Structure 1
Amino acid sequence: MWNYVGWGTPGSVLAADLLAGGFRALPGSKVARAERAVASSPVDGRRSTGDVAIAPSAVPLTASSYPLTRDPMFGQTIAIFRNTFFESIRQPIALVLLVVATLGLIFSNLLAGFTMEDDQRMMIDLGLSTVFICGTLLAAFIATNVLNREIENRTALTVISKPVSRPLFVLGKYLGVAAALLLVTLYMSFVFLLVEMHGVRQTVRDPHHMPVLVFGSVVALLGLGASVWCNYFYGKVFASTVITIVTPLIGLAYLLSMMFDAGFDRQPMSLGFDGQMWIALAGITMAIMVLTAIAIAASTRLGQMMTLCVTVGIFLVGMLSDWIFGRPIRAIETVWLQRASARELTEIVEQTQIIHLVTGEIDLRVVEKEVVLPGVELSSMADGMWERLEYAAYWIAYSVVPNFQAFWFSDALTQGHVIPVKLLWGVVGYGLIYITAAMSLAVILFQRREVG
């Protein structure tokens, strides 16, 4: 059997990848011609088909070589996923935005020192916002480049005609983009955690966190040096090489920094580990996965600029969802409650709020709330059909548009509240619902899309 060495268009490379997995091509397709070229090539030679270069492999790359890929559908998904992942991190825009995010996270530490209140709270807000915004932009740019560009260049036809089902093609694309975004989000998270560990210097007398500065600088120089070496001597793509090398190195720097205090004295790693910060970053990561699914769905029909506008627009509307849709809903419900109160159909109940603080203290708050009596529907207080329709329209919009405030835990962090793990699991389930809905919409839109 034969293996391809990667050059050629993304569609042809992916086609050769599927062929190497043991999948047959349709007669007359590029992959079929590549397959015939392989069959006529000498055992010890190398032959180019015009789209891909095919060379003998030391180990036969048959489907049976990998037990998990014996199922053709699973093997096709893995091939599309792998190709999309590497294509995503090779894009120059990914490296550019990561450089911008890195500088933004570093400068957030410096800018937070000019606040008149708690500088550390401002730094956390700025840092998490930087990760969220850069992740949103990366989702839009990468999703457009890996799907819409292949459709416009007609390279997607090479894969879909294998035959690979369109839903499988869209699913593989999403998984590849999601994996790439997980990697770059992990990198931004490590940088943010290092910056947060250093902390904001309230005065010039406050010491620098030397382990963060030393380990962070060393891994940055090592990562960049290794990437330049691989690019110059081995022809590796610089963007993807930097991302794949620096991310684990910056993670190692974070682990080493937790082992020392600001003066380089040993300390238990538990003192440097902040689980609440990881929960907040996990919530942002889940939001980025939702935005990735939305960007994939938009890119099946729209170009790059429109996909970017749709993704950023949904991000902004989702962040303001409580104000745009939730505020009118609460206003209508307040009017209905006042009408019910005038008819003596309400009662006052006491609700206890339990807030756990990071200091270990518990804040108990008892609030009184007016509610309608059991058996009384609040909507029955509506004044006519138009008021009901207005309420229903706001409620539907509030339900359809993802509320990204649910993924945003920065307020709880800065106020010293404990974020329960069960809340994170609820947010993960909430995000999975929207991912499923967005991917279903992407499949429906792509089913009738002309790709030939």
Structure 2
Amino acid sequence: MFQRFWSIAKVSFLETVRQPIYGVLLITTAILMMMNVSLAAFTLEDDDKLLLDLGLSTLLLSGLFLAAFSAAGVLSREIENRTAVTVISKPVSRPLFMLGKFMGLSGAILLAQYLGLLMFILCQRHGVLQNTRDPWDMPVIVFGFGSVIGGLLAAAFANYFYGKDFPLSALTLVTPLLTVSVIVVGFFSEKWEVIHFGDNYVGGQVIIAAFFVLLINLMLEAVATAASTRCGQLATLLICVVFLGTAIVSDYTFGQREGLSSALYHVTPNVGPLWIVDGLTGASQEGFVPFSYVGWATLYALLITAGVLSIGVALFQRREVG
């Protein structure tokens, strides 16, 4: 059973990363991360905090669109094209098939979020240029751009001369190169002076905030997977947007009332506790997030994910695929 599960997950992962929309969203995320550095300068103050807000919001929106479009492409399209029945007709149960698809999709989105996090760290390290006389952070530009462009050129070379799959080759090359670049940049200042590793990087609390964004995207991925068992691409995206919007305003709408509102508050998913960016200022640690809070928040997100997936399995059980 586990062998079939991992086979489905592997195929789902490869299908997801090979979709054109996956690469388009990765490139869009990178461009938006770089644009955030300039956009955050249009403030009278708190530009570092705005850069942090924009960076985490970019990660959240990237995960939202990746979850909706990828889930629809991996699961909904297979159901509509009647290719899912080929697998289900074999000794593979529907819950196993759907969970395998979810696991493969999770791996692809986790990889995209990891790459987005690396770009987020580099952009936070570069910081906002207050005026035209402020120097550019050359280590970030040299190593950041160099790793991405070098990986893409190498993938294009392998694709042209050896027939390798370009999206998969690009991810295989860019991911370790960008990781090494982030590590190397941590040892240099803006003026190429050797410093203690990580002195100019974001604090650990910012990484925790990015981890919470990943948990939100995990819930959105479960919603997208469940919705794609019955809906197409556009409807899946709409359901994900409604879910995220409801979860964001849950505290404000239902949290301070009684009666029916109180009951709705307890059954409505709430991502407010996972969005801790308001307690952070720039790259510093204004507040401290205890590990117990991280543990409970992670458990809450996993329970919501499991509950939504259970609904998706129930919907898929009665879906005609043949």
TM-score range, shorter chain: over 0.9
CA distance in 2, matches of 1:193, 1:90: 26
CA drift of 1:98 comes to 1.2
Instruction: Say whether residues 1:168 and 2:35 are aligned partners.
Output: no
Instruction: Say whether residues 1:410 and 2:277 are aligned partners.
Output: yes
Q: Summarize the Cα distance change of 1:267–1:298 in structure 2 as closer, same or farther, 3 Å threshold.
A: same
What is the one-letter code of the residue matched to 2:74? V
The TM-score with structure 1 as length reference comes to: 0.68
Structure 1 residues without counterparts, runs of 5 or longer: 1-72, 333-390
SS at match of 2:230: coil
Which deviates further from its counterpart, 74-83 or 263-272? 263-272
Residue from 312, 315, 336 that aligns with 2:244 = 315
Instruction: Say whether residues 1:124 and 2:52 are aligned partners.
Output: yes
Question: Which residue does 2:22 correspond to in 1?
Answer: 94
CA distance in 2, matches of 1:176, 1:284: 19
Question: Which residue does 1:253 correspond to in 2?
Answer: 181
Question: Which residue does 2:217 correspond to in 1?
Answer: 288
CA drift of 1:148 comes to 0.7
After superposition, give the CA deviation of every residue in 1:52-106 in whole Å (9 maximum; x if it has no partner).
xxxxxxxxxxxxxxxxxxxxx1100010010001111111111111111111110
Where in structure 2 are the equivalents of 1:173-212 lying within 5 Å? Answer: 173-212=101-140
CA drift of 1:230 comes to 2.3
CA distance in 1, matches of 2:173, 2:198: 26
Instruction: Say whether residues 1:419 and 2:286 are aligned partners.
Output: no
Instruction: Say whether residues 1:146 and 2:13 are aligned partners.
Output: no
Where in structure 2 are the equivalents of 1:45-444 lying within 5 Å? Answer: 73-273=1-201, 274-327=203-256, 329=257, 332=258, 391=259, 393-414=260-281, 416-444=286-314
CA distance in 2, matches of 1:318, 1:247: 32
After superposition, give the CA deviation of every residue in 1:385-404 in whole Å (9 maximum; x if it has no partner).
xxxxxx1x323332333212
SS at match of 1:86: helix
CA distance in 2, matches of 1:440, 1:173: 14
CA distance in 2, matches of 1:255, 1:124: 20
What is the one-letter code of the residue matched to 1:164? V
- Moved >3 Å (runs of 4+): none
Larger strand share, 1 or 2: 1
CA distance in 1, matches of 2:82, 2:163: 27
CA distance in 1, matches of 2:97, 2:301: 22
What is the one-letter code of the residue matched to 1:185? Q
CA distance in 2, matches of 1:326, 1:424: 21
Number of equivalenced pairs: 318
CA distance in 1, matches of 2:263, 2:71: 27
SS at match of 2:199: helix
Structure index of larger Rg: 1
The TM-score with structure 2 as length reference comes to: 0.95
SS at match of 1:206: coil
Please report the RMSD computed on the Cα atoms of aligned residues, expressed in angstroms: 1.4
CA distance in 2, matches of 1:298, 1:272: 42
What is the one-letter code of the residue matched to 1:157? V
CA distance in 2, matches of 1:186, 1:300: 27
CA distance in 2, matches of 1:85, 1:394: 40
After superposition, give the CA deviation of every residue in 1:152-181 in whole Å (9 maximum; x if it has no partner).
111111111111011111110110000100
CA distance in 1, matches of 2:167, 2:193: 36
CA drift of 1:242 comes to 2.4
Larger helix share, 1 or 2: 2
After superposition, give the CA deviation of every residue in 1:126-147 in whole Å (9 maximum; x if it has no partner).
1110110111110011011100
What is the one-letter code of the residue matched to 2:319? R
Q: Which has the higher contact order (CA 8 A, sep 6+)?
A: 2
After superposition, give the CA deviation of every residue in 1:281-329 in whole Å (9 maximum; x if it has no partner).
11001111111011111111111111110011111111121222224x1
CA distance in 1, matches of 2:10, 2:135: 45
CA distance in 1, matches of 2:155, 2:248: 37
CA distance in 2, matches of 1:83, 1:409: 35
What is the one-letter code of the residue matched to 2:234? M
CA distance in 1, matches of 2:244, 2:172: 28
SS at match of 1:113: coil
What is the one-letter code of the residue matched to 1:194? L
CA drift of 1:248 comes to 2.1
Q: Summarize the Cα distance change of 1:399–1:245 in structure 2 as closer, same or farther, 3 Å threshold.
A: farther
What is the one-letter code of the residue matched to 2:147? V
**Percent identity at matched positions?**
42
After superposition, give the CA deviation of every residue in 1:188-239 in whole Å (9 maximum; x if it has no partner).
0000100001111223333222211110121022111012112222333333
